[in-house]
């Protein structure tokens, strides 16, 4: 059975198979080697995500070799603003992340779990987006701020350190590039094609550092160029032996 | 456990998660409902594909609700040309397709198996591609012709009729559009973004006609808008009851 990566998160994961999405790119990078499974839940915070855990990975545990956990953008929604109901206090966010990591590690102790912080927020971008939807009636105050989201990002990295798992500080990383607000974010929060490319690149980097470099994972079938068309059975037999470490 | 679609085929399937690819688009269309699993093997013909069958669907049979079988582009490679070793006589191609369908149906009798014919060939496109790689040394004769590939496409549709499974005649469909040679094919054989869009649209159409319309498949979790943030347990409980047909 082929190995799996699972992408667990909110809309930033849910949309990762849209055109140019980081999930589809990851599936392409590991083509023929690992299946990439999306478990993205638009609008979810970590509190709600906990309710999904029990049913999420039924029957698959042994084949899961890596997971990305990409939450926080909704937890960081502000109180007393339009998305208030998504808000989760930062201490609870930390605790919830820990529970998610523990759950995944319990399922499969060798699974590489990667925490990804929320991306930065362009408050201007959020306002423009609200105006494009609601015109004059749009809210005047963004429902998220970059500063508060940064607090969640910092704590996400902190949790990763505490638990000894790798993390990607997307909030910091993206802000290193001038013009990140429009370059990486389509509506001040969700990812453009270039933003998706950043996530893809960072995830591949972390997976490779964690001994899951695509080049090191063997194909479970012979490549066309390795097929001896006169002696087919031998070609497929040899590949099986290679995988079993017999060749 | 979530249901699966499996995409079984050659490079046209293998590349279906590249940017704009039809597999990634399919995963996006069925996001949150069905996992799309790629089993694409670049350069493979149906003869070689038979060797993969036994190991391909281990442990998954019950969750597979649909499969695309998309071979023929390599089987139709001409004898006495550069890709001769990929050639499979058309009668054997038919027989191999039947064996693949039977195998899938044996695994899961209710699985919707969809046969896809190879796309048309632009011989001019193949020649240009060879020239871009090899310059003056490029072969003068294309290793595939549209006419011969059309014979394989016709037989693929025939097999589908014989077995009572749906098919997509991509070879005919694409040629209905003027300028299909460049519009749908990047190198006279593989798909452009627009070519991928045609495959995606046709596959979604056939799946929908086969009672697998994305809108009809329930989410296995509550959408954010359905979550009662005061009474979380109830929201998730209700969703489980809906899925079990108790609500």
Q: Given an 8 Å threshold on Cβ–Cβ distance, is A51 in contact with B17? A: no
What pLDDT, in 10s, does the model give residues B85-132? 999 999 999 999 999 999 999 888 899 999 999 999 999 999 999 899
Q: Which residues contact A104 (CB under 8 A, 6 or more apart)?
A: A57, A64, A67, A69, A111, A113
Q: Active-site residue numbers of A?
A: 11
Q: Report pLDDT for A148.
A: 95
**Could you tell me if A76 and A153 lie in one domain?**
yes
Is the pLDDT assigned to residue A61 strictly greater than 70? no
Percent of chain B with pLDDT over 90: 72
Question: What is the mean predicted confidence (pLDDT) over A226-242?
Answer: 87
Structure-token pair, residue A220: 């479970």
| Contact present, A104 and A67 (Cβ < 8 Å) | yes
**Could you tell me if A226 and A204 lie in one domain?**
no
What pLDDT, in 10s, does the model give residues A13-22? 999 999 899 9
Cα separation, A81 vs A149, in Å, equals 14
**Could you tell me if A84 and A190 lie in one domain?**
yes
Phi, psi of A217 (to 5 degrees): -90, 125
Higher-pLDDT residue of B124 and A80 is B124
**Could you tell me if B177 and B239 lie in one domain?**
no
* ipTM given for this complex: 0.90
Q: Report pLDDT for A107.
A: 87
A221-A226-A228 Cα angle (round to 5): 110
Q: Centre a 10 Å sphere on the Cβ of residue B211 and count the other Cβ atoms it contains.
A: 10
Give the E-state strand segments of chain B in sequence order: 3-9, 34-40, 64-70, 112-116, 167-168
Cα separation, B43 vs B95, in Å, equals 19
Cα separation, B136 vs B124, in Å, equals 16
Average pLDDT, chain A: 92
Phi, psi of B108 (to 5 degrees): -155, 95
**Could you tell me if B194 and B241 lie in one domain?**
no
**Could you tell me if B206 and B228 lie in one domain?**
no
**Could you tell me if B241 and B131 lie in one domain?**
no
Is the pLDDT assigned to residue A53 strictly greater than 80? yes
Is the pLDDT assigned to residue A60 strictly greater than 70? no
**Could you tell me if A123 and A187 lie in one domain?**
yes
**Could you tell me if A71 and A180 lie in one domain?**
yes
**Could you tell me if A227 and A207 lie in one domain?**
no
Q: Report pLDDT for A243.
A: 77
Which positions in chain A touch B43 (Cβ < 8 Å)?
Answer: 223-225
How close, in Å, is residue A161 to chain B by CA atoms?
A: 30
Output the domain CATH number for residue B119.
Answer: 3.40.50.1110
Structurally, how many domains does chain A consist of?
2
Is the pLDDT assigned to residue A215 strictly greater than 80? yes
For residue A49, give its domain range: 4-216
**Could you tell me if B237 and B136 lie in one domain?**
no
Structure-token pair, residue A29: 């990078």
Q: Reading across the β-sheet that carries B112-116, which strands appear in turn?
A: B34-40, B3-9, B64-70, B112-116, B167-168
To which residue do tokens 């649909």 refer?
Answer: B66
Is the pLDDT assigned to residue B27 strictly greater than 70? yes
Which positions in chain B touch A48 (Cβ < 8 Å)?
Answer: 224, 227, 232
How close, in Å, is residue B161 to chain A by CA atoms?
A: 30
Element (H, E) at A149: helix A146-163
Is the pLDDT assigned to residue A80 strictly greater than 80? no
**Could you tell me if A69 and A120 lie in one domain?**
yes
| pLDDT band with cut points at 50, 70 and 90 for residue A98 | very high
């Amino acid at each position: 059975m082929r190995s799996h990566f699972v992408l667990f998160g909110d809309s930033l994961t849910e949309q990762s198979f849209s055109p140019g999405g980081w999930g589809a790119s990851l599936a392409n990078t590991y083509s023929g080697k690992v299946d990439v499974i999306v478990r993205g839940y638009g609008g979810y915070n970590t509190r709600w995500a906990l309710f999904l855990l029990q049913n999420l990975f039924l029957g698959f545990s042994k084949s899961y070799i890596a997971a990305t956990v990409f939450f926080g953008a909704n937890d960081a929604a502000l109180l007393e603003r339009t998305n208030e109901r998504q808000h989760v206090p930062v201490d609870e966010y930390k605790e919830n992340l820990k529970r998610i990591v523990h759950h995944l590690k319990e399922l499969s102790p060798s699974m590489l779990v990667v925490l990804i912080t929320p991306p930065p927020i362009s408050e201007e971008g959020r306002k423009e987006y609200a105006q494009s939807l609601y015109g004059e009636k749009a809210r005047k105050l963004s429902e998220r701020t970059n500063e508060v989201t940064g607090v969640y990002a910092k704590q996400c990295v902190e949790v990763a350190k505490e638990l000894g798992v790798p993390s990607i500080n997307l909030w910091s990383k993206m802000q290193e590039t001038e013009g990140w607000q429009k370059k990486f974010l389509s509506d001040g929060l969700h990812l453009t094609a270039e933003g998706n490319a950043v996530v893809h690149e960072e995830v591949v980097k972390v997976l490779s550092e964690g001994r899951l470099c695509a080049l090191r994972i063997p194909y479970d079938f012979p490549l066309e160029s390795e097929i001896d068309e006169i002696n087919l059975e031998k070609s497929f037999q040899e590949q099986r032996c290679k995988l079993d470490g017999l060749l």
